[in-house]
Structure 1
């Protein structure tokens, strides 16, 4: 995904601020930034740091990763990965050990899917225990 320009970040922030029914001054106060600085961000004149984006996201009650994508700091895939990890870590119904195991499994699947599949193997077909395609008989010897 191509990174968005700083102007789009400002427009997005303004839209989020209005949706939250906050004035520029209220958001600036809640995020701990100056009113003029926030105004410059919204008008696309300033590019805020990741830390400022995090403060703004917290004040707007949206994910910081969403703002990072808008600012071109993160791409959409990275955001999705971070949000998935956050959901797993925040789940109160599983214990810490289970969370870590689930994250390890998730990461192993991501790595497995990131590697190129051989051109003669179906990408999504079922596999047998030895890794061969389950839909075809094994080669005769």
Structure 2
């Protein structure tokens, strides 16, 4: 009788979790964050039903962030922060896209400023924002 170790197939799961970003959609999310309206009124139905975006793996957000400037990243952070509070199904906890986006800004030597950190505290009850779990 032989005893072996079963190794799960990781490649298929990684491909399944990897999602291509729709940059037009991300631009709509940025516009919604800039709007004075509630998010539910500023978004298309397709965007409202895209709650999986906030929980995509951090590595995907780190890669995608290369296509956006610092101000656009801040607006995405604002969008995801507000979405987590206002939109059903958008809660993300420690998996929030805000965490890798804030990390990118730190790496770019443009960390969130005091006013931005205070804004996050005022508009979120997610204890992991903006830096993730300790």
| Same fold (TM > 0.5) | no
Give TM-score, length-normalised by structure 2.
0.25
Give TM-score, length-normalised by structure 1.
0.24
Q: Which has the higher contact order (CA 8 A, sep 6+)?
A: 2
